């Protein structure tokens, strides 16, 4: 099962570079006919950041995009249950996706609370402000 990098996903999802879009599309379509694609957790974090920061994709669309990827049986996420929890936290809170994923990862491992010095992140259930 090949792993896929953020730039391949971005080119496929955004299609802002025709040649790279076609390359990414061909790879993805060929790969999923034979086996699933693997998305490392670090790629999930970077994908959200790139979509939000560089392409100014709205939070609701980012969540929809992730949910569609999660629903695709040809795609396997590292820490998939943590990604699902993080998306729920992200939807319900004014916090960064990365912070939501940190908390969700801690929760799925039974390691809560996540102690933090980040006041915004500490407002999420499962986190505790270290002050």
By the 10 Å C-beta count (0-12 exposed, 13-18 middle, 19+ buried), 97 is classed as buried
Determine the pLDDT at residue 82. 98
Give me the residue spans of the domains in the chain.
1-78, 80-131
Say which residues have a Cβ less than 8 Å from residue 39's Cβ, sequence separation at least 6. 3, 4, 9, 47, 69, 75, 76, 77, 78
Residue 5, marked binder: yes
Q: Residue with structure tokens 């970077």?
A: 46
Tens digits of residue pLDDT in 7-29: 999 999 999 999 999 999 999 99
Determine the pLDDT at residue 52. 98
Tens digits of residue pLDDT in 47-104: 999 999 999 999 999 999 999 999 999 999 999 999 999 999 999 999 999 999 999 9
* Helix-strand-coil split of the chain, %, nearest 5: 65, 10, 25
Determine the pLDDT at residue 32. 87
Determine the pLDDT at residue 77. 97
Residue 99, marked binder: yes
- Asked whether the whole model's pTM tops 0.85, one would answer yes
Three-point CA angle 55, 58, 61, nearest 5°: 105
What H or E segment, with its residue span, contains residue 90? helix 80-92
């Amino acid at each position: 099962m090949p792993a896929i990098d953020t730039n391949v996903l971005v080119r496929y999802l955004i299609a802002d570079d025709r040649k790279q879009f076609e390359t990414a599309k061909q790879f993805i379509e060929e790969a999923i006919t034979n086996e699933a694609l693997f998305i490392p957790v670090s790629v999930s974090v970077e994908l959200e950041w790139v979509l939000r920061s560089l392409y100014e994709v709205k939070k609701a669309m980012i969540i929809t995009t992730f949910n569609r990827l999660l629903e695709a049986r040809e795609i396997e996420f590292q820490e998939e249950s943590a990604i699902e929890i993080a998306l729920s936290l992200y939807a319900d809170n004014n916090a960064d996706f990365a912070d939501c994923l940190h908390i969700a990862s801690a929760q799925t491992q039974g390691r809560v609370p996540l102690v933090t010095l980040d006041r915004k992140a500490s407002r999420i259930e499962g986190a505790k402000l270290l002050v």
